[in-house]
Chain A
Protein backbone atom coordinates (compact mmCIF):
# COMPACT_ATOMS: atom_id res chain seq x y z
CA UNK A 1 0.00 0.00 0.00
CA UNK A 2 1.22 3.50 -0.79
CA UNK A 3 2.85 5.24 2.15
CA UNK A 4 1.82 8.74 3.08
CA UNK A 5 3.69 11.32 5.11
CA UNK A 6 1.37 10.65 8.02
CA UNK A 7 2.37 6.99 8.11
CA UNK A 8 5.61 8.14 9.67
CA UNK A 9 4.09 10.00 12.61
CA UNK A 10 5.21 7.17 14.88
CA UNK A 11 8.65 8.79 14.63
CA UNK A 12 7.20 11.98 16.10
CA UNK A 13 5.63 10.01 18.94
CA UNK A 14 8.88 8.23 19.74
CA UNK A 15 10.82 11.49 19.48
CA UNK A 16 8.36 13.15 21.85
CA UNK A 17 9.15 10.64 24.58
CA UNK A 18 12.89 11.14 24.06
CA UNK A 19 12.65 14.94 24.07
CA UNK A 20 10.95 14.77 27.45
CA UNK A 21 14.17 13.35 28.83
CA UNK A 22 16.19 16.18 27.30
CA UNK A 23 14.08 19.19 28.11
CA UNK A 24 10.75 18.84 29.83
CA UNK A 25 9.33 21.94 28.15
CA UNK A 26 8.97 19.93 24.93
CA UNK A 27 6.09 18.18 26.71
CA UNK A 28 3.89 21.10 25.67
CA UNK A 29 3.98 19.79 22.08
CA UNK A 30 1.90 16.83 23.24
CA UNK A 31 -1.15 19.07 23.46
CA UNK A 32 -1.50 18.42 19.74
CA UNK A 33 -2.50 14.83 20.60
CA UNK A 34 -5.39 16.26 22.58
CA UNK A 35 -6.60 19.06 20.39
CA UNK A 36 -6.22 17.63 16.88
CA UNK A 37 -8.41 14.55 17.50
CA UNK A 38 -11.04 16.66 19.25
CA UNK A 39 -11.10 19.26 16.49
CA UNK A 40 -11.37 16.60 13.76
CA UNK A 41 -14.16 14.81 15.63
CA UNK A 42 -16.10 17.95 16.47
CA UNK A 43 -15.70 19.77 13.19
CA UNK A 44 -15.87 16.86 10.77
CA UNK A 45 -17.51 14.09 12.75
CA UNK A 46 -14.70 11.74 11.89
CA UNK A 47 -12.15 9.66 13.76
CA UNK A 48 -9.55 10.41 11.12
CA UNK A 49 -7.02 11.21 13.83
CA UNK A 50 -7.07 7.56 14.87
CA UNK A 51 -7.12 6.35 11.29
CA UNK A 52 -4.33 8.50 9.96
CA UNK A 53 -2.44 10.77 12.26
CA UNK A 54 -2.04 8.99 15.57
CA UNK A 55 1.66 8.23 15.92
CA UNK A 56 1.18 6.38 19.16
CA UNK A 57 -1.12 3.85 17.54
CA UNK A 58 1.37 3.41 14.70
CA UNK A 59 4.14 2.85 17.23
CA UNK A 60 2.16 0.05 18.88
CA UNK A 61 1.41 -1.51 15.49
CA UNK A 62 5.10 -1.43 14.66
CA UNK A 63 6.44 -2.72 17.98
CA UNK A 64 3.70 -5.28 18.52
CA UNK A 65 3.39 -6.30 14.88
CA UNK A 66 6.65 -5.96 12.96
CA UNK A 67 8.84 -6.42 16.03
CA UNK A 68 6.63 -9.14 17.46
CA UNK A 69 6.49 -7.71 20.97
CA UNK A 70 2.91 -8.83 21.46
CA UNK A 71 1.31 -12.12 22.45
CA UNK A 72 -1.54 -11.26 20.12
CA UNK A 73 -4.21 -12.51 22.50
CA UNK A 74 -7.75 -11.17 22.68
CA UNK A 75 -8.36 -8.46 25.24
CA UNK A 76 -10.61 -9.57 28.11
CA UNK A 77 -14.31 -8.83 27.66
CA UNK A 78 -14.48 -6.21 30.41
CA UNK A 79 -11.80 -4.14 28.73
CA UNK A 80 -13.92 -3.50 25.68
CA UNK A 81 -17.14 -2.99 27.63
CA UNK A 82 -18.74 0.45 27.48
CA UNK A 83 -18.60 0.71 31.26
CA UNK A 84 -14.85 0.25 31.46
CA UNK A 85 -14.09 2.45 28.46
CA UNK A 86 -16.18 5.34 29.70
CA UNK A 87 -15.08 4.78 33.29
CA UNK A 88 -11.45 4.98 32.23
CA UNK A 89 -12.16 8.12 30.21
CA UNK A 90 -13.73 9.77 33.27
CA UNK A 91 -10.91 8.66 35.56
CA UNK A 92 -8.33 9.89 33.06
CA UNK A 93 -9.93 13.31 32.91
CA UNK A 94 -10.33 13.62 36.65
CA UNK A 95 -6.60 12.93 36.98
CA UNK A 96 -5.96 15.39 34.19
CA UNK A 97 -7.79 18.09 36.13
CA UNK A 98 -5.90 17.22 39.29
CA UNK A 99 -2.73 17.82 37.27
CA UNK A 100 -4.11 21.15 36.04
CA UNK A 101 -4.97 22.10 39.61
CA UNK A 102 -1.42 21.37 40.76
CA UNK A 103 -0.16 23.52 37.92
CA UNK A 104 -2.50 26.28 39.01
CA UNK A 105 -1.13 26.12 42.56
CA UNK A 106 2.36 26.73 41.21
CA UNK A 107 1.09 29.61 39.09
CA UNK A 108 -0.64 31.04 42.13
CA UNK A 109 2.57 30.79 44.13
CA UNK A 110 0.99 28.49 46.71
CA UNK A 111 3.36 25.67 45.83
CA UNK A 112 6.90 25.50 44.54
CA UNK A 113 7.85 23.72 41.33
CA UNK A 114 8.02 19.95 41.69
CA UNK A 115 10.59 18.57 39.27
CA UNK A 116 9.02 15.14 39.10
CA UNK A 117 7.03 13.13 36.57
CA UNK A 118 4.14 11.16 38.00
CA UNK A 119 3.81 7.70 36.50
CA UNK A 120 0.55 5.75 36.69
CA UNK A 121 -0.92 8.54 38.87
CA UNK A 122 1.11 7.23 41.80
CA UNK A 123 4.86 7.06 41.38
CA UNK A 124 6.76 10.32 41.46
CA UNK A 125 9.88 9.87 39.37
CA UNK A 126 12.73 12.36 39.83
CA UNK A 127 13.10 14.26 36.55
CA UNK A 128 15.29 17.24 37.47
CA UNK A 129 17.83 16.50 34.70
CA UNK A 130 15.32 17.57 32.09
CA UNK A 131 14.76 20.97 33.65
CA UNK A 132 17.05 23.81 32.69
CA UNK A 133 14.97 26.72 33.88
CA UNK A 134 12.32 28.53 31.93
CA UNK A 135 12.00 32.02 30.53
CA UNK A 136 8.44 31.95 31.74
CA UNK A 137 6.72 31.35 35.04
CA UNK A 138 7.65 28.09 36.84
CA UNK A 139 4.00 27.11 36.34
CA UNK A 140 4.79 26.65 32.65
CA UNK A 141 7.35 24.04 33.62
CA UNK A 142 4.97 22.47 36.12
CA UNK A 143 2.43 21.90 33.39
CA UNK A 144 5.15 20.32 31.25
CA UNK A 145 6.10 17.91 34.04
CA UNK A 146 2.45 17.09 34.64
CA UNK A 147 1.56 16.64 31.01
CA UNK A 148 4.59 14.52 30.29
CA UNK A 149 3.44 12.29 33.14
CA UNK A 150 0.08 11.86 31.42
CA UNK A 151 1.74 10.95 28.13
CA UNK A 152 4.27 8.62 29.75
CA UNK A 153 1.57 6.90 31.78
CA UNK A 154 -0.59 6.24 28.75
CA UNK A 155 2.43 4.98 26.81
CA UNK A 156 3.42 2.60 29.60
CA UNK A 157 -0.14 1.28 29.89
CA UNK A 158 -0.35 0.96 26.12
CA UNK A 159 2.94 -0.94 25.97
CA UNK A 160 1.79 -3.26 28.75
CA UNK A 161 -1.45 -4.17 27.01
CA UNK A 162 0.40 -4.35 23.68
CA UNK A 163 2.61 -7.09 25.13
CA UNK A 164 -0.22 -8.92 26.90
CA UNK A 165 -2.86 -8.72 24.19
CA UNK A 166 -3.01 -7.48 20.61
CA UNK A 167 -0.61 -4.74 19.49
CA UNK A 168 -3.21 -1.98 19.42
CA UNK A 169 -5.09 -3.01 22.60
CA UNK A 170 -4.55 0.50 23.94
CA UNK A 171 -6.93 1.75 21.25
CA UNK A 172 -9.74 -0.23 22.89
CA UNK A 173 -9.65 1.93 26.02
CA UNK A 174 -7.66 4.97 24.85
CA UNK A 175 -9.47 7.99 26.33
CA UNK A 176 -9.00 10.04 23.17
CA UNK A 177 -10.31 7.19 21.05
CA UNK A 178 -13.34 6.73 23.29
CA UNK A 179 -14.04 10.44 23.42
CA UNK A 180 -13.75 11.01 19.67
CA UNK A 181 -16.02 8.03 19.04
CA UNK A 182 -18.58 9.44 21.48
CA UNK A 183 -18.40 12.84 19.78
CA UNK A 184 -18.81 11.26 16.33
CA UNK A 185 -21.74 9.17 17.52
CA UNK A 186 -23.45 12.22 19.01
CA UNK A 187 -22.75 14.36 15.99
CA UNK A 188 -23.90 11.74 13.45
CA UNK A 189 -26.72 10.41 15.62
CA UNK A 190 -29.48 10.90 13.08
CA UNK A 191 -27.49 9.35 10.25
CA UNK A 192 -26.49 6.36 12.36
CA UNK A 193 -30.07 5.75 13.43
CA UNK A 194 -31.13 6.07 9.80
CA UNK A 195 -28.56 3.48 8.78
CA UNK A 196 -30.21 0.90 11.04
CA UNK A 197 -28.79 -2.51 11.85
CA UNK A 198 -27.92 -3.63 8.34
CA UNK A 199 -26.89 -0.34 6.85
CA UNK A 200 -27.14 -0.38 3.09
CA UNK A 201 -23.68 0.47 1.85
CA UNK A 202 -24.81 3.30 -0.34
CA UNK A 203 -25.66 5.15 2.87
CA UNK A 204 -22.15 4.77 4.09
CA UNK A 205 -20.66 6.50 1.11
CA UNK A 206 -21.27 9.92 2.61
CA UNK A 207 -20.12 9.11 6.10
CA UNK A 208 -17.30 6.73 5.43
CA UNK A 209 -13.65 7.51 5.70
CA UNK A 210 -10.80 5.80 4.04
CA UNK A 211 -7.95 4.85 6.35
Chain B
Protein backbone atom coordinates (compact mmCIF):
# COMPACT_ATOMS: atom_id res chain seq x y z
CA UNK B 1 0.00 0.00 0.00
CA UNK B 2 1.25 3.42 -0.88
CA UNK B 3 1.71 5.88 1.87
CA UNK B 4 0.64 9.35 0.85
CA UNK B 5 2.53 12.03 2.72
CA UNK B 6 0.11 14.80 3.38
CA UNK B 7 1.42 18.30 3.05
CA UNK B 8 0.97 20.15 6.29
CA UNK B 9 0.95 23.86 6.85
CA UNK B 10 3.00 25.24 9.69
CA UNK B 11 3.72 28.67 11.13
CA UNK B 12 7.26 29.91 10.79
CA UNK B 13 8.55 32.98 12.61
CA UNK B 14 11.24 35.24 11.18
CA UNK B 15 13.20 35.36 14.37
CA UNK B 16 15.41 38.29 13.40
CA UNK B 17 12.43 40.62 13.00
CA UNK B 18 10.17 39.31 15.76
CA UNK B 19 9.58 41.93 18.46
CA UNK B 20 8.54 39.34 21.08
CA UNK B 21 5.30 41.14 21.82
CA UNK B 22 3.41 37.89 22.39
CA UNK B 23 0.34 38.82 20.33
CA UNK B 24 0.64 35.52 18.44
CA UNK B 25 0.70 33.51 21.67
CA UNK B 26 -2.65 34.91 22.71
CA UNK B 27 -4.53 33.99 19.55
CA UNK B 28 -3.17 30.49 18.92
CA UNK B 29 -6.03 28.04 19.50
CA UNK B 30 -3.71 25.13 20.27
CA UNK B 31 -1.09 26.97 22.32
CA UNK B 32 1.61 26.10 19.80
CA UNK B 33 3.54 29.36 20.08
CA UNK B 34 5.76 30.43 22.94
CA UNK B 35 8.06 33.38 23.42
CA UNK B 36 11.54 32.09 24.00
CA UNK B 37 13.90 33.98 26.33
CA UNK B 38 11.89 37.18 25.88
CA UNK B 39 13.64 37.43 22.53
CA UNK B 40 11.47 35.82 19.84
CA UNK B 41 8.45 33.65 19.19
CA UNK B 42 8.69 30.01 18.22
CA UNK B 43 5.97 27.74 16.89
CA UNK B 44 6.02 24.08 17.85
CA UNK B 45 5.57 22.19 14.55
CA UNK B 46 4.25 19.24 16.52
CA UNK B 47 1.30 21.25 17.78
CA UNK B 48 0.74 23.90 15.10
CA UNK B 49 -2.27 23.19 12.88
CA UNK B 50 -1.42 25.92 10.37
CA UNK B 51 -4.57 27.92 10.91
CA UNK B 52 -2.78 31.22 10.28
CA UNK B 53 -4.38 33.11 13.16
CA UNK B 54 -0.98 34.10 14.55
CA UNK B 55 0.22 35.36 11.17
CA UNK B 56 -2.85 37.55 10.83
CA UNK B 57 -2.43 38.95 14.36
CA UNK B 58 1.33 39.54 14.32
CA UNK B 59 1.78 43.35 14.27
CA UNK B 60 5.17 43.03 12.61
CA UNK B 61 3.85 40.48 10.06
CA UNK B 62 6.83 38.20 10.54
CA UNK B 63 5.00 34.86 10.62
CA UNK B 64 4.60 32.93 7.40
CA UNK B 65 2.56 29.78 6.95
CA UNK B 66 4.76 27.35 5.06
CA UNK B 67 4.15 23.84 3.78
CA UNK B 68 6.54 21.21 4.94
Contact = CB atoms under 8 A, between A and B. Distances in A.
A58 to B, nearest CB: 10
A181 B38 CA distance: 6
Contacts, number: 107
> What class of interface size applies to chain B in its complex with A?
20 to 34
Nearest to A72: B56
B38 A80 contact: no
Interface in B11-51: 15, 17, 19-23, 25-26, 31, 34-39, 42, 44, 46
A199 interface: yes
Nearest to B44: A201
Interface string A26-51: 00000000000000010001110011
Nearest to A208: B34
Contact residues of B: prevailing secondary structure: loop
Contact of B59 (A1, A47, A75, A210): A75
A41 B38 contact: yes
A184 B60 contact: no
Given A181-B39, A199-B42, A204 B34 contact: yes
20 contacts: A41-B38, A45-B37, A47-B22, A47-B38, A50-B20, A51-B25, A51-B26, A57-B23, A75-B61, A167-B59, A168-B57, A172-B59, A181-B38, A192-B39, A195-B36, A207-B36, A208-B42, A209-B35, A210-B31, A211-B22
Interface of B: 15, 17, 19-23, 25-26, 31, 34-39, 42, 44, 46, 56-62
Interface of A: 1, 41, 45-47, 50-51, 57, 61, 72, 74-75, 80, 85, 165-172, 177-178, 180-181, 183-185, 187-188, 191-192, 195, 197, 199, 201, 204, 207-211
